[in-house]
Structure 1
Amino acid sequence: MKKIWQIIMIIGVVVLSCSAEIYWKNDYIWRPKPNGYATETMGFGNVSTGDLSFVDYNLEMDIEFKKFSEWGNLRVMVRQNGIFDSYSLNIDKNGLSLWRYDGRWDMGQMLSGYSIPIKENQKYHLDLTVKDDEIEVNWDGKPVINAKDRMNKYPYGGALLRTEMALTEVTNLSLTLNKTIDIDEATKMMWQKTQEIYPLPEKPKPFKTAQEVGFNNMMLIYTGHYGDGRGNWLFVDALPYVGYLDSDLSVVDSFFDAFLFLGIQAPSGRFFDAVRGGDPSTAGNSEDWLWYLDKLFEDNMQLAAFDRAKGRVNEVLGDAQKAQVVIMIPNPLTAQANFGEIDGKMLSFSTENQSVKEAQKQRFTAIDWYVREIEKRWQEKEFENLELLGFYWMSEDIFHAHDEEIVRLTADYLHEKDYRFYWIPFNKAPGYDGEYGFDCVFLQPNYMFSEQVGLSRFWQTYVDAVTYGTNFEIEGESTVLTSKKARERYLNYLKAGVTLGYRDSAKAYYFGSKALVSCALASDAELRDIYDKTYLFAKGIFDEGLW
C-alpha cells in the first residue's frame, strides 16, 4: 500500500547466493554487485536472508559509504522478527551502536556502542556473531562490542541490512549458520514468549462493530497513477468486489460493503502521502490533487464503475443497498512551498517564509477546497448505488505536532458535515496510539510482506488494538498469484481473525491493485480458494484458527 519505507519489495527481487544454502533478497534500492550490493540513490532499502529457523550465526562483510546524508546510516539487523523487531548494529558517521528494538526505530534499548569517525570512501570490515543472548562485534579486526540482552527477546530470526539515506556498498557478504531450529517449533515458542512480553491490558477495549464504523468490510481501491494502468477500474474489475461471484462468475451474494478510493502517486511523479528521500519536489501540489479528482470522477470508470457494479448486484439479488464510499484526503505536505492557486490565492504549506499558524491555515484551506470539490462533483454525478460515507487521512504516520493539529482540525470539520474519518497506520507508526478524532483506526500488522515476520506479530497488533481501541487491516498482495508461501501468509490473517476475534469486527482490506480480482477469475484452484475464503471470512463463516 503503502508501507513504502517498510516493505521488502518482492517484484523484481534479485537473489544472490553468498554461501551454501544462504540466499539474500534485495529491494530496488540495493543493486547487486559482484559478491555484494550497492545503493545508487538515497532512500530506504533492505537486503535480507533467513527466517525464524535461524538461531546462532556469524555475519561478515566489507562496508563502504560513498556518501552520507545528515541522517545516513546502515543498520545490520540480526534475529529479525520484522523491521525494528530485532537487534540492530547501527553504523553512521559517528560510530557504532547496538540496539534492541521494540517495534520502531525510536523504541528500544541501547545495549552498547563504539565511537569512531566513519569516513566516506573508506572500506571497513565488520565481523558480527550472535550466539544465545550475546552479540559480539569486531570492527576492522578489533573487538569493540560484547553485549547481552538479559530479556533474550529475540532468540531466533534471520538477518537484514537496511540502508537509510546513504550511498552504501557492501561486499564480501557472508553468513555462516551455527545453529538452527525447526521453524514450526520456533513459531509456537515465539507466540508464547510474545504473550509474556506483551500481556493484555487490564481493561481491553472491544473491536468496533460495523454499526459503529459504518461498514463491515472495506476494500482499498488504488486509483493513483501506475505506468501499466493498474489504477484504472472498469465495471468488470469492480464486480468481483461488490458481489461474490461463483465459479461460473455469476453473482450469488454481496461481498465488500465499503470501498476506500486512494492513490499514492500522480503522473507528475509527485506523491499524496509523503515526500520521498527528503526531496521537497516530490510533494504533491494542486495540479496533482485536481488530476486525482478528475480521474476519480471519470465517466464509466472508478466511482462510476463501482456504481454500475453495485447496481448489477442489487438487480440480481433483488436488493437496494448502497455501497459505502470513503475517499482519501492527501496530506498538504509542509515541504510544499508552491501548492498552486485555490480560490484566487496562491498557497504555501511551508514555514520557511511564514508563521506556523499561517502555514496551518493554508493547509486547511486546501483540505476544505478538496472536500468541497468532491461534494460538488458527487452531486453532479448523482450516483444511484453509492453513498459518500467519509474520508481517509492518506499519510500512514502522524509524526509532527503540525500534523497532529491539522488532523484534529480536519476531523472536527468532517464531523460537522456528518462524514466519518478513518486512518490506517503502518505497524507501530508514530501516532498509532494517539487520539486524533478518527471514527476508526485500522492497524496494519505488516506480516504479509516479509517472511522474517512471525505469527507473533498478530498477537502484538492485537494487544495494541485492544489497548487503544482500534481495529485490524487484512493485508494481501499480488505475490499470492505466484507464491504458495504468500498464499499461506495471507490466509494466516484470516486464521488470526478467528483466533483473536477480529473476524466479526469492522475491517479494512489491502490487496494491492486488483490481485483479489485475479483470484476470483482464476482457473487455478489455489487462487480461487483465496477469493472464496476471503468471502467466507467477510461473512463471518470462515472458522479455521491459527492453532
Structure 2
Amino acid sequence: MKVLKLAVLFLASALLCACEGNGPADIPDWKDFVEDKPGKDDVPEVSKDKVPSDMVLIYGGSAHRNPVKWTGNYLKEYVIYTDRSGVKHWLFDGFLCLEFMYVNVPTGNKTFITGYSYNGVKLPSATKYEWQSLIDYYFEIDGGLNAIEKAVELASEEMGSSPKTKRKVVIGIPEPISNEYYSNTSSSTVYWGKLNGKELDFSLTSDRLNACKWYIDEIASRFKAQKYKYIDLVGFYWVAEKATNTRDLMNKVGEYLNANEFTFNWIPYFNADGFSEWKKYGFNVAYLQPNYFFSDSVPEGRLDEACDYAKRYNMGMEIEFDGNALEANGKGYKLENYMKAFKKYGIWESSPIAYYQGSWALKWLRGSVNSEYNQKLYHDFCEFVITRPYRTKDDEQN
C-alpha cells in the first residue's frame, strides 16, 4: 500500500509571500513527497485510503441549522452528480461533519470553539451535555451519519453499482475551552462535567485531553457498532482554526488518534496563529483557507499567495463559497477564480481539496433552474471536481 505524508506549512510573515509575478512552479505530487529525516516534529505517515480527495464540509448538530436534520435524499446530491448530458458521476468522496455552536435549545446557547457569538452575544463554553448531544446527533437513526449512509445507498441504486471505495467520514472535535466564558479568563475552569465520577478541571491539560479522548472513543465505538456498508470513519478534525488556545493540547490529541489508526485533520485560516508549526501539533492532513471569497477587500492576489504556500509546502487547500455565489448575489465570479487559480498552480491536479459551501450553497445552485448563470456555475464546479487528475489517476472514483 502506498503511504503518504501531507506536510502543511504556512509562512508567518506576509513579506515572504509578496513576490510579484509568481507563476505556477513545478509541484510534486503530494503522494510522492520526500520524507524529512526523523525528528521530534515528525508525524506518522498516512495511507492514501484514509485521505479523501474531495471532502465537503457539512454542518449539523445545532437547532439553528436549516434543515436541522440531515436525510439521505437531502445529501444524495453531494454523493452523485448528473452532468449536462444526463450521465451520473460520483461527486465528493469525503464528508467533514462539524458544528461550531449549540443554540436555540432550552438548555441555553453554547459554543464549541473559542470566540463565537450568536445574535451579538458571546456564548459560554459547551459542556459535556452539549458534547454528548452532538454525538447523539451524528448517530440519530434517520439522520446524521445514517443519512450519509442512506445517501450513498440511494446513489448506488441510481448508478447501478456501489462506489469502489467507501465514502470517507471525518468528524469535528469540540475545542475543550479552558474557561466557562472564553472572554473572561477569571471564569470557572470546572464547568464541563464529570468523567468516571471525577469533575474535570479545564485548567489542566490532562483533563482537557481526557475530554477529547472520551469524545473520540464514544464516536469510534458507536460508529463501529453500526457496521456501515458505504461509509468509513477515517479521522477527526480540530475545529479550532488557530493554535492560540490549544497549543499545549493538539499534539497529544494527534498522538492518541494515530495510536487508534485515525487521522488528525486541520483547516486553519489564512496566516492563523501556529500554522507554520503543524508538525508540533501532530496533524496528518491540513488544508489552507485562502479566505478570499467572503470580503470584497481581499484581492484576487490572495489566491496566488495561498496557492504559492501550497505548492511550496505540499499542503491541501480549501475552496470557499456560500449562497453569495448565486447570480442574484453577485459573487459567483469568486468561485470561478478559485477554480482557475487551483488549476493554474496545480492544486487541482495533485492535492486534496476541502470544500466549504456555507450551509447548502451547492444545492441552491443546482436548484436554481431558472438561472442560466447558476446552472453553468453548478456544472462547471461539479466538473471541476469529477475530472480532477488527482482523483481519477488511480481510478478510485469511477
Q: Taking structure 2 as the reference length, what is the TM-score of the superposition?
A: 0.78
Q: C-alpha separation between the residues in 2 aligned to 1:316 and 1:390?
A: 28
What does residue range 267-306 of structure 1 map to in structure 2 within 5 Å?
Answer: 267=103, 268-276=108-116, 282-306=124-148
Partner of 2:387: 540
Once the two structures are superposed, the pairs formed by residues 232-381 of structure 1 within 5 Å of their partners are 232-246=69-83, 252-267=88-103, 268-276=108-116, 282-317=124-159, 318-320=161-163, 321-336=165-180, 337=189, 338-350=191-203, 359-381=204-226
- Measured in 2, the distance between the counterparts of 1:472 and 1:538 equals 13
Matched residue type, 1:311: E
Which residue of 480, 498, 502 corresponds with 2:347? 502
Shift in alpha-carbon separation, 1:255–1:197, aligned structure 2, 3 A: closer
Which SS does the other structure have where 1:405 is aligned? coil
Alpha-carbon distance in 2 for matches of 1:200, 1:532: 26
Contact 1:213 1:440 (C-alpha < 8 Å) held by counterparts: no
2:261 is matched with which residue? 418
CA distance in 1, matches of 2:224, 2:53: 25
CA distance in 1, matches of 2:128, 2:338: 38
State the match for 1:469 in structure 2. 314
Amino acid at match of 2:381: T
The answer to whether the Cα contact below 8 Å between 1:208 and 1:440 also exists between their aligned partners in 2 is no
Q: CA deviation at 1:518?
A: 1.7
CA contact (8 A) 1:205 1:467 kept: no
Indicate the structure with greater strand content.
1
Instruction: Compute the displacement of 1:424 (Å).
Output: 0.3
CA–CA distance in structure 2, aligned partners of residues 348 and 281 of structure 1 = 19
**What residue ranges of structure 2 are gaps of 5+ in the alignment?**
1-10, 33-46, 181-188, 390-398
Q: Percent identity?
A: 27
Alpha carbons of structure 1 residues 281 and 452: separation in structure 2 relative to 1, 3 Å: closer
- Structure 2 distance, partners of 1:498, 1:362, is 45
* Letter of the 2:387 counterpart: G
> How many angstroms apart in 2 are the aligned matches of 1:388 and 1:242?
16
Match of 1:390, SS? strand
Deviation at 1:199, TM superposition (A): 9.4
> Equivalents in 1 of 2:61, 2:78: separation in Å?
18
| Residues in 1 aligned to 2:139 and 2:127: alpha-carbon distance in whole angstroms | 19
Task: Specify the alignment match of 1:353 in structure 2.
Answer: none
- Deviating 4+ runs (over 4 angstroms): 197-201, 203-210
Q: Give secondary structure in 2 for the equivalent of 1:528.
A: helix
Distance 1:243 1:273, change over 3 A: same
In terms of fraction of residues, the more helix-rich structure is 2
In the alignment, what sits opposite 2:337? 492
Residue 207 of structure 1: how far off its partner (Å): 4.3
Counterpart of 2:55?
Answer: 218
Q: Take 1:541 and 1:473, find their aligned partners in 2: how far apart are those partners?
A: 15
- Secondary structure of the equivalent of 2:333? helix
Cα gap change, 1:478/1:206 in structure 2, threshold over 3 Å: closer, same or farther?
same
Tell me the amino acid that sits aligned with residue 258 of structure 1. G
Using the TM superposition, give the Cα deviation of residue 194 of structure 1 relative to its aligned residue in structure 2, in angstroms: 4.3
Q: 1:512 to 1:473 in 2, by over 3 A?
A: same
1:44-443 matched pairs, under 5 angstroms: 194-196=18-20, 207=30, 211=48, 214-227=51-64, 229-246=66-83, 252-267=88-103, 268-276=108-116, 282-317=124-159, 318-320=161-163, 321-336=165-180, 337=189, 338-350=191-203, 359-400=204-245, 403-434=246-277, 435=279, 436-443=281-288
Across the two proteins, how many residue pairs are aligned to each other?
Answer: 344
User: Greater relative contact order: 1 or 2 (C-alpha under 8 angstroms, separation 6 or more)?
Assistant: 2
> Unpaired runs of 5+ in structure 1?
1-102, 110-152, 154-192, 351-358, 543-547
CA distance in 1, matches of 2:48, 2:374: 32
Structure 2 equivalent of residue 59 of structure 1: none
Kindly provide the CA deviation profile for residues 14-40 of structure 1, in whole angstroms up to 9, marking residues without a partner as x. Answer: xxxxxxxxxxxxxxxxxxxxxxxxxxx
